[in-house]
Every structure is written in structure tokens, then in C-alpha cells.
Amino acid sequence: MTTDTHVSTPSLWLSALRLDPRHRDTTRDLGNPRDMHRSIMTLFPDDLGDTPRATAGVLYRIEEDTRGITVLIQSLIQPRPWDNHSNVLSGQTKNLTPFLDHLHTGMTVHYRIAANPQKTCGRNGDPLRGKRVHLWGEDADQWWNTRAEHHGLHLHTATARPHRDGTQPRPKHRNRDHATRNRDNKIQHNAIQFDGLAEITDIDSVRAAITTGIGKGRAHGLGLLSLAPITTV
């Protein structure tokens, strides 16, 4: 029987804000990840240096279902009140640190992540050598399986579906921010959401992945790894 070596977990906060879908600010932010990023960062201090998102540890994911639109925001800093955001219908914030401390190697969990599977072409003679290309189908599934193992999760099940603007494969050539831009210069990522069950094999790697995110596009609503323990009745 192995015993996990306890590493002090930094304070981590998770906020869930339900947005008014009819409000113009919601429409604007949902239409461009850059606008959503700006709106979210107004919830945090202005003096965070040259890399404020990374300093505050901000990750987010937009979730849409029959109940409406919710933006999940994870951060190392507790966010400011959102009273002056008129498009927020309701919200709550909780400290995730006790949950992270509860996780342990061998635990089976539900997981969810909206990610941007991609690779850098490197074969000699490949016209795309050095270019990043986005992955779909089985290639994307393999990407997630490899990343999950690297970050301390052994997948038992995995289902994949397009996440928001990841509905269609797009041209393989990408610009430096690894996203496409439409005619209105709005950023569009090829995002895939993965859900399933996994076993924690390396608790320190899992905690690090939750805290810092996985993959590209973390400033634009991708890379937030969410875990939930399996409950028994």
C-alpha cells in the first residue's frame, strides 16, 4: 500500500456565474473568447504584472444546457463581487482547496475538460513541418489519452464532442495563437470536450493539472480540468 506524499495545495477558488443570454454583454462575450477573457479579468486586481491571467491562475469554461449559460471560473485569487456585471443573473464562489486535499491516488473520478488537441508536424519532407495542426476523431482521442496519463489520470471511459466553436474541422494552417480568425477578426478555437471516468495514478500531477490547466488556449476558455468523485447510493 502506497501513501501519498502531501504537498501543500495553494488556495484555489471556483466561481459559477449564470449569464443572461439576452444581454448584449453576454452576446458579445460568447461571440469572441478575447472579449470573454477581458470581462473575466475585470473580476481580479489590476496590478498583476505582465501576465495577469497566469499570475491569478485564471481558467474558465463555458457550459450551456437546458438551464442556461454558465461560465465556470477557477482562480488562485478570490474574485471580486460581480454586482456591476449586469449580465450576471446569479453566481457563487467556493474554495476548492479542501476538495483538492481530499483527492488521492487510486481514487476514481468523473472528469471534464474542453481542450484544443493539436500537434506540431516534424517529419522531414512534410510541407507542414513546424506547423501546428489540430486533431480530430481518433487522433484527438489519442491526444487526450496521452495527456491524461502524463497528468496522472488513467482513463476508464472517454466521450468526445465539439465544444462551442469546435463544430467543424478547420484549415490545417494556424497562426501563432493556434486559433483561426473569422471575417470580424474574432478568435475561434477548434475545441473538443472530453468527459468520462478515470483513476488517479499520480495525485501531485493531477493537482498541478487542475491548478494550471492542460493544453493551448487557456486564456480563451480551454484547458480547465474538472473532477468530481463518484458518489454511491
Has residue 56 been placed in a domain? yes
Tell me the angle at which helices 33-41 and 24-31 cross, rounded to the nearest 10 degrees: 120
Is 91 found in the same domain as 109?
no
- CATH number of the domain that residue 181 is part of: 3.30.70.1210
**pLDDT tens digits in sequence order for the chain, 233 residues long:** 444 554 455 699 999 999 999 999 999 999 999 999 999 999 999 999 999 999 999 999 999 988 899 999 999 999 999 988 999 999 999 999 999 999 999 999 999 999 999 988 766 655 666 677 889 999 999 999 999 999 999 999 999 999 875 444 443 434 344 454 544 555 556 799 999 999 999 999 999 999 999 999 999 999 999 999 987 54
Is 153 found in the same domain as 128?
yes
Domain with 111 in it: 103-229
Is 172 found in the same domain as 112?
yes
Domain end call among 52, 80, 98: 98
Is 202 found in the same domain as 132?
yes
Domain end call among 98, 130, 158: 98
Has residue 5 been placed in a domain? no
Is 117 found in the same domain as 186?
yes
- pTM listed for this prediction: 0.84
